[in-house]
Amino acid sequence: MTEIRAVKGTRDLLPDEIGVWHRLETAAHDLFARYGYREIRTPVFEETQLFARGIGTETDVVSKEMYTFEDRDEQRTSLTLRPEATAGIVRAVIENNLTNTDPALKVYAMGPMFRRERPQKGRYRQFHQVDVEAFGMAAPSMDVEVIELALEFLKACGVTEFELVLNSVGDSACRPAYVEQLRAALRTHASELSADSLRRTETNPLRVLDSKAPEEQALIATLPRIGDHLCDPCREHFDEVRRQLDLLGIGYRLDHRLVRGLDYYVKTTFEVTSGALGAQNSLLGGGRYDGLVKALGGPDVPGIGFAVGMERLALAMPKAAAERRSDVFLAVLSPAALDDAIRLQRSLRQAGVAALMDHEGRSFKSKMKMADKLGVRFVAIRGEDEIRKGVWSLRDMTRSSQEDVVEARVLDHIKEKRNG
Ligand code: AMP
């Protein structure tokens, strides 16, 4: 029989590593609520055309990386596992008229995304994102609030080593003319371009700026820059974003090549990288997408948001000490103590104490080994002696002390001492 293994590019989140994910999720729930965001959960698959229209057919994500399949209905509807969260959220916002009832709508989401990329450390085919989206607010101060929230989230997760990278990609008033200039410049260097960049010169020249090919870097440095071609409103918006970032003491690096992988961005784009991550150093990315809701058939409301890669964030987070998996372990040393143990275990749990016991009649030595592995604070021992005295012998594992405690006092004793 061939061995069945996890699909390439997917990974199991095992119990030993889940603690850091819980901390990250809790930080998100707590922090985002303080900024007025509420959670939204949308399906992991949508009609393919949502992503084609929402992300752009010329992006790598849509053209090469989507998990697309036919449904079993008569029309053979084309469905796709979501490669990112924004398009699905925008669809839900439109479908449920959310911006009608809340003109300053703030939502966040968490969950798996699917892209058929070449797997490596920090890059998976099923990965997870925390996603934040704000609708209806066009002011530069909103860009700043969203960026500030992104950074506060990283800090709340204990990440201190990161860099904010910032750009403006213009809008429909100024970008098309810039893109034409970029295309013209690229065409004059056609012989120096890779096949990919040559194709993108025609289909989506901005993508060439994403090129990591070492032999193209010198040429890219000479290309026209979007920053020199912004229209007045985009320029003023960007200046105000930068002024307010300065006001809050938020440092950043400008990078004219930060055009981001998805087509829908306008004006502000940003990314946060971390040196702790290695080659896949992008922790989060985001930007403004003012035309997207309208393009997907909704009202003309602006939007801005960002997505954090949870795997990468988990990698960048400080490792916590191994977590205690139980407060107390009940060691039954006589068959006559079994009923007492079952009852005590239940009442401890009902009172909020994490309690475990050995159900398999192991030796005292192996019970103690189990207790050690679980990192419990107390082992409660009951054998013939203890039954006779009507007590549990409570061993405090951190102090290596042991004392007899009457059954009625066990709960209070543990509660009093467990945090000490
Ligand atoms: P994007 O949606 O491409 O803007 O990506 C936003 C963030 O999601 C990135 O900064 C990464 O942290 C994370 N991310 C994107 N693609 C992957 C992937 N294939 N595997 C793991 N994380 C990813």
Q: Whose CA is nearest to atom 18 of ligand 1?
A: 123
**Cα 60 from Cα 39, distance rounded (Å):** 28
Does the pLDDT value for residue 262 go beyond 80? Answer: no
**SS3 label, residue 381:** strand
Find out whether the beta carbon of 263 lies less than 6 Å from any atom of ligand 1. Answer: no
Q: Give the pLDDT confidence score for residue 210 in this predicted structure.
A: 84
What digits encode the pLDDT tens for the residues 333-349? 999 999 999 999 999 99
CB 269 within 8 A of CB 259: yes
Does the pLDDT value for residue 420 go beyond 80? Answer: no
Residue 94's Cβ-count burial label (10 Å; 0-12, 13-18, 19+) is: middle
Find out whether the beta carbon of 143 lies less than 6 Å from any atom of ligand 1. Answer: no
CA dist 224 → 15, 218, 268 (Å): 50, 13, 18
Find out whether the beta carbon of 261 lies less than 6 Å from any atom of ligand 1. Answer: yes
**Cα 10 from Cα 114, distance rounded (Å):** 9
Does the pLDDT value for residue 419 go beyond 80? Answer: no
**Cα 325 from Cα 110, distance rounded (Å):** 26
Does the pLDDT value for residue 363 go beyond 80? Answer: yes
The DSSP bridge partners found for residue 285 are 271, 307
Q: Whose CA is nearest to atom 4 of ligand 1?
A: 285
Find out whether the beta carbon of 127 lies less than 6 Å from any atom of ligand 1. Answer: yes
**Cα 292 from Cα 396, distance rounded (Å):** 60
Q: Whose CA is nearest to atom 13 of ligand 1?
A: 309
What digits encode the pLDDT tens for the residues 55-103? 888 788 888 999 999 999 999 999 999 999 999 999 999 999 999 999 9
Find out whether the beta carbon of 117 lies less than 6 Å from any atom of ligand 1. Answer: yes
Note the residue count of the chain. Answer: 420
- Ligand 1 mean position, distance from CA 192 (Å): 30
Share of the chain above pLDDT 70, in %: 99
- Ligand 1 mean position, distance from CA 148 (Å): 19
Does the pLDDT value for residue 351 go beyond 70? Answer: yes
- Ligand 1 mean position, distance from CA 286 (Å): 11
Question: Which residues are CB-contacts of 111 (< 8 A; sequence separation ≥ 6)?
Answer: 41, 44, 85, 128, 129
Q: Give the pLDDT confidence score for residue 400 in this predicted structure.
A: 85
- The DSSP line for 395-413 is EETTTTEEEEEEHHHHHHH
- Ligand 1 mean position, distance from CA 309 (Å): 5
How confident is the model over 212-230, as a mean pLDDT?
A: 92
What digits encode the pLDDT tens for the residues 378-406? 999 999 999 999 999 999 998 889 999 99
- Ligand 1 mean position, distance from CA 84 (Å): 9
Measure the N-to-C terminal CA separation of the chain; round to a whole number of Å.
53
- The DSSP line for 58-80 is TSHHHHHS-EEEE-SSTT--EEE
Q: Whose CA is nearest to atom 16 of ligand 1?
A: 123
Q: Whose CA is nearest to atom 17 of ligand 1?
A: 123
* Burial track 56-77 (b if 16+ CB lie within 10 A, e otherwise): beebbbbeebbebeeeeeeeee
Question: Which residues are CB-contacts of 285 (< 8 A; sequence separation ≥ 6)?
Answer: 260, 261, 269, 270, 271, 272, 306, 307
Q: Give the pLDDT confidence score for residue 324 in this predicted structure.
A: 85
User: What is the position in ligand 1's atom list of the atom closest to the CA of 125?
Assistant: 19
**Cα 248 from Cα 75, distance rounded (Å):** 54
What digits encode the pLDDT tens for the residues 142-190? 999 999 999 999 999 999 999 999 999 999 999 999 999 999 999 999 9
Joined together, the tokens standing for residue 13 give: 């989140």
Q: Give the pLDDT confidence score for residue 399 in this predicted structure.
A: 87
